[in-house]
Structure 1
Amino acid sequence: MSQPFENLPTTPRSSELVDKAFSRASRAGRAKEGFDAQSSMLQTAANILSDNLENVVTEWPDFDDLDPFYTDLADAVIAGETAIGNEEKRGTGALRQHLSEVTWASRKCADIRGEYHSKLRNANDVDHARKLRKQAFARLADVVEQVEDSLLAIAAAREALRDLPDIKPDEPTIVVAGYPNVGKSSFVNSVTRASNEINSYPFTTTEINVGHFEGADLSAESARTDRSAMRDHVRYQLVDTPGLLDRPPEDRNQIESQAVSALEHLADCVLVLVDASGECGYPIEVQLELRDALVKQFDEAPVLTVCNKADRSREVEADYYMSVTEDENVQTVLHAAVDAIDYEPELPFEE
């Protein structure tokens, strides 16, 4: 599944919709005469407004059908980067309310069309029909203007969401965490170097780095087995989250906490890198406290403790020891993460 918000169309302003509808209605009226002209103008204007308002809503994905990763992430982004909502309702809840109001306006325009078509059929003369059509236009314009704030809010949400990371929640994902300067970025760069697929994306109050590697890259390093052969065609995602998973949960604001909640849905394995040498600037005890907090937070994914810079110090109990700079045990750690995920691709049915 690709990023669900990147192709959302531009949301029009209420004045743009009204100008478009009435301009086309005027052209439609000039093509006919008498009662038919007034009826055609009403039909054209109401249809354009109703259809365009409906399209604003239907172009958005159904949040109930989205992967929980994108649902939680969208909620965090909208709450944190737009002025949508209030203390009672923020994030996607506020956006849903605005979309509901636009749906109301679309249906109201259709109702006005039906109401005034009946009145036009009973008009005494063309002047009376023209007066009724003008009344209908005034009511249509008023309805659209009533949802101007909702249209602006939907446009702001679109701008905030369109550049979210193109992460595929159905691909097995390794999240890399740990305090700054422990070697997270170096590790991600090292293991994805062959494919050269490191990308940075806006991610609420910070950005994340996403890389990929293929199972075939690992199979070359180990004895061939049936399972490793199956993994050859699996693409794994590596996610490095500077600014989020490099500090204790209590230091995160509400929006950052929501973003981490989204990552909880995404992670199939978490690698917590620690630096026993202390060169990162943080005591090892503090680093282990962060590790323990992440174990609790990512309680549905295996969490592996990896001592990086092991060529300088191994004075910590860890699941694995490696040195990215010395290329020591990097592939071993990657193997361990893949084994912990234990992902097997679906194979085509064989008779």
Structure 2
Amino acid sequence: IRTIMTSDEIIDTAFRKASKVKVEDKIHVFRLRKTSAARISSAADTIDTTTKGYVSSFPNFDAVPRFYFELSDLLIGVGRIKKSLGSLDWCRKTVKKIGDKGIKQIKRSRNEKFIENKKKEVYGRISSVVKQVSDDLLFLNTVREKLQNIPCIENIPTVVVAGYPNVGKSLLVRKISSGKPKIAAYPFTTKGVSVGHFKIKYRKYQVIDTPGLLDRELAKRSEIEKQAILALKYLGNVIVFIIDPTGHCGYPLDAQLKLLDDIKKTFNIPLIEVENKSDILKTNSDRLKISALTNEGIEELMGKVLGILRNLLANS
């Protein structure tokens, strides 16, 4: 989304460009008439192109993935964005109507005073219309900045990795990604999300680690943080929840299980429970045992993940 000018900047740009327009004619009144009409047309066209460009540079919120819509609505309010974009559209159309009407009146006149006054009147009315959307322009420029905090995440089959800090989430994401995971901004967390990709038989998948999000109990979250977390349910197709049974992560097992229970209740998507650090400790639980450090159990985990994702793709 491009930087959005203020109403004064748009008006100045439009009239400055228009002032450079000249149409030659040997007869003075005809030259004045043609030049005045051309300058009004130029100013209206500049405003039309500028505002139309702003509107088209914003995403179509009726067609974006649900995850993107939910976060946009949480951060800013999609209804308010649409209203301001609608105001710019109104501005563009109104300026064109004023310009077209003024040009017709000028083209019918041979009175120099009338032509000059009519051009001034049209310029004044155009300025007034653009100034009426001043607040919308300022608002949309702040929207542009806020939308940059929404991660640019592809709409492809997605694995979300969850669990307390230091249980081995980031190491697992690195191990199963074909390249180095990228950090993407995410609202209400300073750490962002880590996004990796992998390909199996020409199909691309992504895996996401969510530090600062799915790593502590929901009861300890603010309401707005909870909503940011809930948006993840429109992103992930399967959750891999990692438990560290050794306690080396700094969090007791009962706290980890409480978070697991929270996530099960919150997210209505398939979930695979995994115990990491099997190179140090293997418990008697039925959970899949892996070691992100030594790769033990990683192949079996990926088999389970792909089984779920392929089943979802087959039924979608």
- Alpha-carbon displacement from aligned partner over 1:156-194 (angstroms, at most 9, x marks no partner): 22223246433211x2111000111111011111222xx
Residue identity in the other structure for 1:71: F
* Partner Cα separation in structure 2 for residue 319 and residue 340 of structure 1: 17
| Equivalent residue number for residue 122 of structure 2 | 136
Quick one: structure 1 residues 345 and 292, their matched pair in 2 at CA, closer, same or farther if it must change by over 3 Å?
closer
Q: CA contact under 8 A between 2:72 and 2:147: conserved in structure 1?
A: yes
1:279 aligned partner: 248
Q: Distance in 2 between matches of 1:114 and 1:335?
A: 66
Q: Contact 1:179/1:247 (CA < 8 Å) preserved in 2?
A: yes
Identity among equivalent positions (%) equals: 31
Asked if 1 retains the 8 angstrom alpha-carbon contact of 2:34 and 2:107, the reply is no
Q: What does residue 245 of structure 1 align with? A: 214
Letter in 1 for 2:197: H
Q: Cα offset for 1:269?
A: 0.8
CA shift, 1:278, in A, is 1.5
- Does the CA contact (< 8 Å) of 1:268 and 1:302 recur in 2? yes
Other-structure match for 1:62: 60
Q: SS of the counterpart of 2:205?
A: strand
Contact 2:18–2:40 at 8 Å: present in 1 too?
A: yes
Whole-Å separation in 1 of the counterparts to 2:286 and 2:130: 62
With structure 1 as the length reference, what TM-score do the two structures score? 0.81
**Correspondence for 1:149:** 135
Q: Corresponding residue for 1:288?
A: 257
How many Å apart are 1:264 and its aligned residue? 0.8
Q: Is the 8 A contact 1:14 1:148 kept in 2?
A: yes
8 A contact 1:182–1:274 mirrored in 2: yes
Question: In 2, are the aligned partners of 1:305 and 1:318 still within 8 Å (CA)?
Answer: no
CA separation in 2, counterparts of 1:210 and 1:336?
20
Closer, same or farther: CA 293–316 of 1 in aligned 2, 3 Å: farther
1:328 CA displacement: 1.7
SS at match of 1:10: coil
In the alignment, residue 175 of structure 2 is paired with which amino acid? Answer: S
Q: RMSD in angstroms over aligned alpha carbons? A: 2.2
1:42 counterpart = 2:40: yes
Contact 2:68 2:150 (8 Å CA) reproduced:
no
Shift of the 303–249 alpha-carbon distance from structure 1 to 2, 3 Å rule, reads: same
Partner of 1:228: none
* Shift in CA distance, 125/204, structure 1 to aligned 2, threshold 3 Å: same
Shift of 1:121: 4.3
CA-to-aligned-CA distance 1:104-123 (integer Å, 9 cap, x gap) = 11121112113323432454
Whole-Å separation in 2 of the counterparts to 1:268 and 1:128: 68
Q: Is 1:183 the equivalent of 2:151?
A: no
Deviation for aligned residue 1:273:
0.5
Task: Indicate whether 1:213 and 2:198 are aligned.
Answer: yes
Q: Which residue of 2 aligns with 1:197?
A: 180
Q: Which amino acid aligns with 2:21?
A: A
Shift of 1:315: 4.2
Number of aligned positions between the proteins: 307
Q: CA deviation digits over 1:177-228, x for unaligned, max 9?
A: 0111111011111222xx223110111122000111222xxxxxxxxxxxxx
Partner of 2:62, secondary structure, is helix
In structure 2, give the amino acid aligned to 1:117.
I
Give the superposition deviation at 1:312.
Answer: 3.2
- 1:64-106 per-residue CA deviation (whole Å, 9 max, x = no partner) reads 0111122123333xx2xxxxxxxxxx42222112111111111
The one-character-per-residue Cα deviations of 1:258-295 (angstroms, maximum 9, x if unpaired) are 33233211211100101112221222111111111111
Mapped contact 1:307–1:316 kept (Cα < 8 A): no
Alignment check: 8 A CA contact 1:182 1:280 kept: yes
In structure 1, how many angstroms separate the alpha carbons of the residues matched to 2:15 and 2:261? 63
Q: Which residue does the alignment assign to 1:108?
A: 94
1:327 is matched with which residue? 295
